[in-house]
Structure 1
Amino acid sequence: MCNMKLRGKQKRYLRSEAHHLKPIFQIGKDGLSEVWLDEVLKALDKRELLKVNILQNSLVEIEDVKEFIENNSDAQVIQTIGNVLVLFKKSDKAENQKISVKVAEL
């Protein structure tokens, strides 16, 4: 997948922007699926930055989730903290490109 390669300064900015966010997606015992990823990508297209929480009863490890997301989409995992992943993807719609504009300036 074609990802914009982020530099350290850009990742630090994204981590600071994500700090106050609450996870809006969860991975439970059903694990990962294309349908789940499609929903995450739709939300990323609106927000550009979000958190995903892996629940205690999930059968997948955080590294599996990171690999699944990065191999099957343009989204990037910016940070993992415990069972939470921070995801970033530049929006396809210009009106939703608030964070990515700032990132490009850094």
Structure 2
Amino acid sequence: MSLTGKQKRFLRAQANELTPVFQIGKNGLTQEVVNEFDESIEKRELMKVQLLQNTDLTTTEAAAFIEAHSSIQVVQKIGKVLVLYKPSTQEKYQWYSSRLPKVNG
């Protein structure tokens, strides 16, 4: 599912008050870490991940790795923080996906 600009704007606004759930440090980003993101985002749909100063990754590299190794979408990269989104498969956790602006089509 590809998000429109309006949908990304909505999600960025919602993520404004969130605090980072995960931190990526000197050990970098591996498939196991991305799997942890996937499990955690199932109940949240939207979360922030922070890159620490001691990591060798840039936010662009981290975003590309996450999107290539999962179905999570990076909504925003700001400074050393990524905002991640993935709609939940369970209806009781679909707070953001149920409120996303609909695509006109």
> Shorter-chain TM-score: what band?
over 0.9
Could you report, residue by residue, the CA deviation over 1:36-80 in whole angstroms, capped at 9, with x for unpaired residues?
111111111000000000000001111110110111111100001
Q: What residue number does 1:83 align with?
A: 80
> Structure 1 length normalisation: TM-score?
0.93
Query: How far, CA to CA, are the matches of 1:104 and 1:74 in structure 2?
Result: 20
Q: For 1:36, which of 29, 33, 41 is the aligned residue?
A: 33
Q: Deviating runs (4+, > 6 A) in structure 1?
A: none
Q: Distance in 1 between matches of 2:84 and 2:15?
A: 9
**What does residue 98 of structure 1 align with?**
95
**Aligned-partner SS, 1:24:** strand
Amino acid aligned to 1:69: I
Q: Secondary structure at the match of 1:59?
A: coil
Q: TM (normalized to structure 2)?
A: 0.93
Question: Equivalent residues in 2 for 1:64-83 (5 A)?
Answer: 64-83=61-80
Equivalent in the alignment of 2:60: 63
Structure 2: how far apart are the matches of 1:55 and 1:22?
A: 14
Counterpart-to-counterpart distance in 2, 1:78 and 1:94? 21
Between Structure 1 and Structure 2, the one with more helix by share is: 1
Q: Which runs of 5 or more residues in structure 1 are unaligned?
A: none
Alignment gaps of 5+ in structure 2: none
Q: Structure 1: how far apart are the matches of 2:77 and 2:97?
A: 20
The residue identity in structure 1 corresponding to 2:66 is I
Aligned residues of 2:6 and 2:101 also touching (Cα < 8 A) = no
Tell me whether 1:17 sits opposite 2:11 in the alignment: no
